[in-house]
Amino acid sequence: MILLQSFLCAIAKTIFLLAIFLLSDFAQAQATNANENIKPKSQGAVWAPDNGDGTYKNPILYADYSDPDVVRVGDDFYLTASSFSNFPGLPILHSKDLVNWEIIGHAAIQYPIETFIKPQHGNGIWAPSLRYHNGEFYIYFGDPDYGIFMTKTKNPTGPWEPLKLIRKAKGWIDPCPLWDDDGSAYLVHAWARSRSGIKHILTLNKMNAEGTKILDDGVTVFCDSVKHPTMEGPKLYKRNGYYYIFAPAGGVKPGWQVVLKSKNIYGPYEDRIVLEQGSTNINGPHQGGWIETQTGEDWFIHFQDRYAYGRIVHLQPMKWENDWPAIGVDYDKNGIGEPVSSYKKPNIGKKYPVCNPATNDEFNSAKLGLQWQWQANYNSEWISLKAKKGSLRFYTQPQLPSQKNLFNAAALLLQKFPAPQFIATTKVFLSAKHPGDRAGLIVFGLDYAHVGIIKTETGFKVSQFSCKDADDGTGEEEIDFAVVDNSTINLRVEINSENVAEIIPRLLCSFSYSLDGKSFKRIGKEFIAREGKWVGAKIGIFTTTNRENNQNSFADFDWFRFE
């Protein structure tokens, strides 16, 4: 008995010591993780619309994918959106269930017009339509200053054919094609009032069968400035012998969704409001596309303009009643649907893993992540992903004293806000040859602010700058600075919303920096993010020099992460 007790005591002592060791090791690991606070909690997206219980919440994309259009090919769904003068443009997103999306490519790598070597804020690629015909994907869009463009491919990841101007015109926007049962091809489009003085007319054109030429000047198929002022974004469909045009009316932020129906493609068309804000907080349920799943369900994807957040994307249930679409839920019992905030996920016959558009970038690849865009056509001399393995080398870009701010800088590497609230952090080493060389982390819009490291006469400093009404040419103001003795620094911005559920958000941006990657120190004042021209606020990185050339100065960005 004594031997047994001794043996049991020895085992208990061993277990106790082992437990102490494991707990100590666990505590040390926790402390290490706490000190590594530059690492986000997740390397994935910071917004997840999939609730994981068979339901989803809106928006399905809490990011600025303006004027979305969607198509299904087999078991796959594809989406594209406006990109204006940001390139690469015409992003291509892919989904298996209409809720979880990822970026797979772009249809417009460069713009074929010389002026786009500089930012053309609000111009360029307006509302596209995406269709699949005869084994090929087609995208049509209108540039309000130049006309109707198209591109196509057999592989949605690319490459896409170079953008082709198929009709030179002023003020033609938001085109959408339809190939009829007899092979005839048509194109419906709206008008930009800023270029044409027209905003409530829809026009139908005949195209060649290949969809590469517009054959006439078009016929007006709808005009009603009283009931539906500002009619735009038409999407043309055919179902059960009826032609349908889905089109938003009443303006982007306060508007509603209209559907037109006719037995003849040239009309006359009956009209019906099918989706409105009603008693919800989803304003202007606007422009989008109808999609049918492989299981026969109907859905409608549209955007909501949330100012600094941009035009975020919602998914609405849809069904057909007496050959009219009923979208959303008729909460007010007035025969008009209203947007849902949460709903049962589409039935697509299978279950697929959760996925989200890319946000983080470790800069370990030979190519930039697909989430990044430039403010104009890209110049390969701006950056290198080969000069230093695992880093993005960003050569300093000239910003002469005559250029008072960064609003018209082409070489800003930016991406969309990915969530209602988030933290973004980057680590940068500045190799500066001259005082004034700088590299930074920026929140960009009509107003912007940034935090960065700057070479001085005696060393380095970290500064926070802001610029109000940048589009009016106002200069930057240095809000705060701190002298540092290190050319490597971690830069961070934390973005929170005071009123995240309200239509007009107030997004507060707080900047900070760290020399050791562990403890961060706030710098400057809180900045209120503001949208850009037809786009939401963006976040990203930049470098500048106050000389006419970069004199071999550069910044190496190790990574860019969200949490």
Residues labelled catalytic: 67, 232
Euclidean distance between CA atoms 50 and 53, whole angstroms: 8
- Please, what sign has the CA dihedral across residues 76, 80, 86, 88? positive
Residue 550, judged by CB atoms within 10 A of its CB (0-12, 13-18, 19+), counts as buried
| DSSP SS3 for 422 | strand
Euclidean distance between CA atoms 52 and 354, whole angstroms: 8
Euclidean distance between CA atoms 234 and 557, whole angstroms: 43
Which tokens sit at 351?
């279950």
Euclidean distance between CA atoms 174 and 255, whole angstroms: 17
Nearest alpha carbon to residue 383 among 147, 192, 556: 556
Euclidean distance between CA atoms 162 and 108, whole angstroms: 7
- Cβ neighbours of residue 431 under 8 Å, at least 6 residues apart? 487, 553, 554, 555, 556
Euclidean distance between CA atoms 469 and 405, whole angstroms: 10
Strands 448-455 and 460-467: antiparallel
Euclidean distance between CA atoms 213 and 236, whole angstroms: 18
In 22-171, which ranges are E strands? Answer: 55-57, 69-73, 76-80, 89-95, 101-108, 129-133, 136-143, 147-153, 164-168
Q: Is residue 304 within 8 Å of 285, Cβ to Cβ? A: yes
Nearest alpha carbon to residue 534 among 315, 377, 372, 305: 305
Long-range CB contact pairs, 472-478, < 8 A, 24+:
473/404, 473/405, 473/407, 474/404, 474/405, 475/404, 475/405, 476/404, 476/405, 476/406
Other beta carbons less than 10 A from residue 122's beta carbon = 15
| Three-class SS of 194-237 | HHHCCCCEEEEEEECCCCCCECCCCEEEEECCCCCCCCCCCEEE
Euclidean distance between CA atoms 413 and 395, whole angstroms: 12
Q: What is the dihedral of CA 167, 104, 542, 480, to 10 degrees?
A: 110
